[in-house]
Amino acid sequence: MANERKINRTGWYFIIPVALLLAIFLLYPIFYSLYLTTTKTKGIVTSFIGFDNYIKLFNDPMFFLALKNTFKILLLQVPLMLISALIFAALLNNKKIKFRGFFRTAIFLPSVTSLIAYAILFKMLFSYEGIVNNTLLALNFINKPLDWFSDQTLATFVLILAMVWRWTGYNMIFYLSAMQNISSDLYEAAKVDGATEIKSFFSITIPLLRPMILFTTVMSTIGTLQLFDEPMNLAQGGTTASMVGPNNCFLTLSVYIYNLCFKYTPKFGYAATVSYAILVLVAILSYIQFRISKHSERTISKHVKPSLK
């Protein structure tokens, strides 16, 4: 008994330093940022204002503009990226395709590219005298070069294209690894039953990839709601004086938080409030996606076998 207590005490000696580090660098910032949402900072003076920041949030047009821009990017970029990743994974999982390793690496490489480097790359490609404009002019698709970063629609298109280019390969790897764990016996049985490859893909591959699709959807949603690097890097150094693009089209929630803290007069309390608004949105959207996934799982379990006939 005494020896057992000594072993337990020894274990606590290892756990306590880690627990202290987690409390200092994880729990303390969470609770302190929650406290900041009830304060107002002016210089070095911090005053308690209760729920005024939350009331201000619902009357802030810039917050709703940032929210609108973020959801616009979310609704366009995430489905396009995940569908592209799923298509590439399905194609590169085919053993008949030669040089599969090369194509997998080529599609995945953008995800390990430096954020600054690929932002500069896209700014060069879509500059006034860049390759894209020159190509479109040569093909007679346009009569004069387009100023991609001075038009709201074009700038948003470039931003979404850049994100799809960078993150499609990253999600493709998840789908590809999941596909390789699906037993080939299922496809052979479906083939014997007369199912085509497309039928097998929608009746076997997609249902079995459901947990991975849910995972990538949730993670992509969270990442887009926290979008900061791409709009910030693409906007800086452009033809517009603003750091948030033409008509504030690059103003996402995270960019707005940065501006509140460092670009304008520092408003750390209100910035913390916007941060918690993102937390609430992430929780709500994740819950909705999990509920939809559970409903789809029940539906698929009822129809997957009949669909193979």
Which CATH number do you get for residue 230? Answer: 1.10.3720.10
Which residue's structure tokens are 């920041």?
53
Distance CA 35, CA 38 (A): 6
Give me the pLDDT at residue 297, please.
65
In whole angstroms, what is the distance from residue 65 CA to residue 251 CA? 8
SS (H, E, C) the chain: CHHHHHHHHHHHHHHHHHHHHHHHHHHHHHHHHHHHCCEEEECCEEEECCCHHHHHHCCCHHHHHHHHHHHHHHHHHHHHHHHHHHHHHHHHCCCCCCCHHHHHHHHHHHHHCCHHHHHHHHHHHCCCCCHHHHHHHHCCCCCCCCCCCCCHHHHHHHHHHHHHHHHHHHHHHHHHHHHCCCCHHHHHHHHHCCCCHHHHHHHHHHHHCHHHHHHHHHHHHHHHHCCCHHHHHHHCCCCCCCCCCHHHCCCCHHHHHHHHHHHCCCCHHHHHHHHHHHHHHHHHHHHHHHHHHHHHHHHHHHHHHHHCC
Cα within 13 Å of Cα(118), Cβ side:
19
How confident is the model at residue 239, as a pLDDT?
41
What total number of domains does the chain contain? 1
For residue 119, what are the contacts with CB-CB under 8 A and spacing of at least 6? 162, 229, 230, 233, 234
Backbone Cα Rg of the chain:
25
The answer to whether residue 33 is domain-embedded is no
pTM for the model stands at 0.84
pLDDT reported for residue 41: 80
Give the domain extent around 110: 60-307
User: Is 55 a member of any domain?
Assistant: no
The low-confidence residues of the chain, meaning pLDDT below 70, are: 1-7, 43, 236-243, 295-309
Is residue 286 a part of any domain in this protein? yes
Tell me what pLDDT residue 241 has. Answer: 40
Residue 14 domain flag: no
- Tokens coding 187: 């496809």
Residue 76 lies in a domain: yes
Instruction: Please list, in sequence order, all residues whose beta carbon lies within 8 angstroms of the beta carbon of residue 269, skipping any fewer than 6 positions away.
Output: 36, 37, 38, 39, 40, 41, 46, 49, 53
Residue 167 belongs to a domain: yes
Instruction: Decide if 53 is inside a domain.
Output: no
Whether residue 9 is contained in a domain is answered as no
